[in-house]
Structure 1
């Protein structure tokens, strides 16, 4: 295998994946911020966490009560365009079918798919109406399968308006994250690394989160690959 010590691995993640490891969904709207997100490492995330944020994280790990969620580092006051992921309250079809089955209710996949499509149509109608006052609302991508929602580019000041709409569960910041792989000091060091998983945990700074009791326990994580 060829090694390129100077190469960087660039991974594109939607922010709702990254922040789901750090922040709770059982929260009301976070306070507005005038600074767009420029957080690039765990230390900066921890510096931005308030006591209330930490309480929400730990409470989520224990109870996980769903409420509307807004990425806490998202700019919501300026006129600058921001990329976001809007999650609908309506679950994807397969998820909806399984949830109904768990409580003894019958819902066909066709019926669930129709509900998903209706959630998109209803949202588009609301966006059409909102465009009269905020013309720069743009839907870039639609999701219906493992996740139900849309990717958008909107003026930051309109984010709160979107979140207040009926049928919206969460708004996540959509950002690109670049990670450079660790460069081994020598071949001997690399040979002794018997657990790549442990090395990765230390490399991304997760041990600092673990020290604060933030382990992600109780969270459900989904990965959306947009190619």
Structure 2
């Protein structure tokens, strides 16, 4: 009998609405939604535009709060944390990768990658050493001193992924990470996500509208009418 894996991130009975729906009523995007994220797993979430996929990811990562419901990290309810505690939780345990990178334009690739560790109080020597290692992991060490505007879209996304790994997170939350990339860079980014899972045991929760990309995951869930269901 196969041993069940540890649940590192979970949510129960999440509800979330936004004002200004089509009939001037609240737009309900999450309606009693549950999810469990297993350690070392890659889960894809698909759904139509506006279905609430990004909202869900933001709530799971502590960037947003639900109207009601609970999010648990390793058994601890993060919806009860204060704002400074939430910031520490995000910095220590969660790595975010977004479609539009959100790199700081005034800093180099190396500095962008090192930023989470510096914020956490890591010494600059240790932070930049780790950042150099991550640049090498993603094959862009020669771009260390380049600013985001000097990097291609694929290179920017690799810097973004390296930054997400800076503090050795347990979970990577990736919101359409290949949405602006060509097929070659898409394959590269996906390959690296799987390699990271295998090498580091990191869990990945991936939002995508591409069923071909989702098909590479361990599990596919569909967000439909505010509820997650197997696809």
TM-score by length of 1: 0.26
**Higher fraction of strand:** 2
Q: Scaled by the length of structure 2, what TM-score is found?
A: 0.25
Larger Rg: 1
